[in-house]
Structure 1
């Protein structure tokens, strides 16, 4: 996540995951494409207002211009007035499930979040430094009377939602199979084979990373980077195994010789990764999605690239960042493509711009292919990294407008 949500969510309060998922599912109604403007003010009754709710995030405060808004399309304009990169979240009433998020807001920058919300209790949260539990405040969505289940394109909305749910289901199925194979190789000490499967297996995680990250308990157990560990936090998941398969030199390990994991430690870590993957698989069997979640998820996957993959920080030991990079782009593209029938009716020029930016970014990625995968990230020049970063930013800007266009 980057400085992931995996790190951020580690401190979220413990809840029954299935209860959290069920509670969140009741929070959001099906996001059909109505003509409502974003609902932005306290006491709004018709789902519309003159402008977005404003959020000012500092290093110590998260000031939201209102503590409630009418149901329908909610827009938050988030300004970082602090000295640290920050994030903003709208959380469900359990404090665990993410309804919407906007990440990587640098000092002095303003980013927008558009979500569709039914009446209920929520939390807003700013995370200066992108770590910890965040600065939270209660937020209420009142009943504006807006019809969340119908709109001008109900059939296209239903089609987009079903297609994305099917995609997530397929990717978790493939992730489950490959993770079990990878874990078995690792436990058996077949390190060369495990290293060869590491990146291809993780592709299926990265394609649906924003969905996986929405489970605040699973994500840190499965995908937390060592650099994001909080004091006293146990480190488990993919990147523990990554480090053990690509042991660092002392200079890259705090000046200390790396101590390989014992057979017992390998078994414990691998078995937990398999168990957590199976839990993710189970939880996503009956998930449903709304168009605002799909649109925000597409943008979130580009944020993942910008804050982790393009910097080379995600796979710091294996340097397989380009596999992750491509997978995040794949997931974002699938989400956008599912929304295209709606977007083309609403804003054909925006759709065409996104199509062009995806093509340009893919052309750059293809330059670094090697065999069935990619060159390792440490082989890229500074100029090549900058070109990729610029292409991600060029795509991220129009992609961030999709949600507002389709809800």
Structure 2
């Protein structure tokens, strides 16, 4: 099976769960012998793409200098990486696109002036003027050109920015299209959806032969809000990478205070204000607690101000965006992880927390609540109940130990290999004549 896959992001350049999901899924597909050409709207540094072969002109220059091992290439030999020079970024909105494009062009000028030779395909001269809609469709045309040189059986597109590209490649090649719903515009924006994004999402789902949703929660949104027939939408849950493959230095911090962790994008979708309001109520009952908000987003500064207004600024630490070993270190320090999301299609972070022996409290408005039994669950808006559950976990070690031990055992069953097998089954179904 050969798959032409279109994604937004890939480690280490990630803004949220989509990059983590793409990494886990492609790695598992590789182990099943599925040949994947993965297309991104940016260049990924070869030192981080350990299971992919970098084929673009810029990458070939670096591969010659790369210290690689034979075992890496042989272990994951079925994935190759193709990138399209584009300023598209995960979780971009039309409102933030202008800021991103200005920063992208500034970095391009600095980089190309120092490294690009005349005539280099990676050099300057590409026109990035215009709005997000235009760039999404420019990316689609470039993906279609790139696909002409590839051999594949199925097109697999992750989330809305890649849907026009997926549609174009599928139409040009005559191959079936599978779209993967990691998040919808209703999750990101509530009822105040951007009509352009909604229309692109809906067209992608309508044109696809199969739609993969990351949870039954998301499947319901796809059917009710986008009018997609239920027999076309299948659920494939995300997995989690075992933390045993990572080497992390011991956390040498002495403290009396308990640490309650929020890890994710600080945006409306993730419910940071409910986390802080619950924190206020917890601190009215017990004082030996610190609340850590790890992440970045458009509500970060508003959240800092809210913490100050609530009079708990001295008890809340904002770390900014974390990745790699820093994420694993913060999990090692945490006594409890809380995910108060307003609308969460799945939610990989609670799985990562449990995999690091951290008990979790999760929003009932999440896909991951469908697969976790040994987690405390609460409506995102019920800050009183959220606070009560936080206090209970911190005060009663037997409860904390039960949630941690049983949750860790439970999360071992959620593996990317199972998700990859289900994807492979769907690919095969799309190739069977109707």
With the length of structure 1 as denominator, give the TM-score of the two structures: 0.30
With the length of structure 2 as denominator, give the TM-score of the two structures: 0.28
Higher relative contact order (CA 8 A, sep 6+): 1
